[in-house]
Amino acid sequence: MSDTATTPRRIGLLGGSFDPIHNAHLQLAESACSELSLDAVWFIPAGQPWQRDPLAASPQQRWDMVNLAIAGHPGLLACDIELKRQGPSYTIDTVRALRAAHPYTAFTFILGADQLRNLPTWNGWEDIVAQVDLAAARRPGYADEAPPELLHALAAHGHRLHRLAMPEIDLSATRIRHSIAQGESLAGLAPTAVAHYIEQHRLYTHA
């Protein structure tokens, strides 16, 4: 669909380290897409996620795995904007660039409860919520409440926090990395093509 004023698009942005991408990421994107009637969800692998320890897989490997995971899922696309940018990956830079490039598109940033609570520590977070809606999923082990200052800032800018109805999924990339290091199967945890890629490239063999 073209990016015009008469046909405004609604796009979800799912940023992540994706080290590796797993089934909960796909469920999160599919749920946001259907619950919010989005035209598409763009997966945006972070280049240099500054709040985390160094990642195990390379940017190219994480990009490959994202593309393998979303193949055959209409409406799920990959965006390499953060992999191409130098320096720490700040979501605000991504949001600004995407809004400038797609002026008639309404963006919703999708995230889990862990990052919803963490969002007020992000670089330029008030500017982020001035520009996009948020859509958050529950996550086991993380309280549901959004930080009050986040809700105030969203409301001040006329933006919304959508609560996704998808059930909690007890799955993380950390668990996947540990499972692989212990020689366990990834069946039901990650797409088969991603599991094969991890095996071929001998990723995550040491926890």
Smallest gap from Cβ 112 to ligand ATP, in A, equals 2
Q: Any contact of residue 51 with ligand NCN (CB under 6 A)?
A: yes
Smallest gap from Cβ 98 to ligand NCN, in A, equals 12
Q: Any contact of residue 90 with ligand NCN (CB under 6 A)?
A: yes
Q: Any contact of residue 46 with ligand NCN (CB under 6 A)?
A: yes
Stretch that binds ligand NCN, among 72-80, 90-98, 129-137, 184-192 (CB under 6 A): 90-98
Of the candidates 113, 28, 42, 47, the residue with the CA atom closest to the CA atom of residue 79: 42
Rg for the chain, CA atoms, rounded: 17
CA distance 181 to 170: 19
Smallest gap from Cβ 79 to ligand ATP, in A, equals 14
Stretch that binds ligand NCN, among 30-38, 43-51, 54-62, 179-187 (CB under 6 A): 43-51
Judged by beta carbon distances under 5 to 8 A according to partner kind, the member of ligand NCN, ligand ATP, none in contact with residue 139 is ligand ATP
Contacts of 116 (CB under 8 A, 6+ apart): 134, 136, 146, 150, 161
Q: Any contact of residue 89 with ligand NCN (CB under 6 A)?
A: yes
Q: Identify the helix (H) or strand (E) that includes residue 162.
A: strand 161-163
Distances (CA, A) of 50 to 69, 89, 110: 24, 7, 19
Interface residues with ligand ATP (CB under 6 A) are 16-19, 24-25, 28, 111-112, 114-115, 137, 139, 169, 171-174
Q: Any contact of residue 15 with ligand NCN (CB under 6 A)?
A: yes
Q: Any contact of residue 115 with ligand NCN (CB under 6 A)?
A: yes
Q: Are 134 and 116 within 8 A, CB to CB?
A: yes
Q: Which of 11, 12, 16, 177 binds ligand NCN (CB under 6 A)?
A: 16
CB count, 10 Å around CB of 138? 17
Backbone φ, ψ for residue 115 (5° rounding): -80, -25
Pairing mode, if any, of strands 9-16 and 133-137?
Answer: unpaired
Judged by beta carbon distances under 5 to 8 A according to partner kind, the member of ligand ATP, ligand NCN, none in contact with residue 117 is none
CA distance 24 to 7: 31
Q: List contacts with ligand NCN (CB under 6 A).
A: 15-17, 44, 46, 49, 51-52, 89-92, 115, 122-123
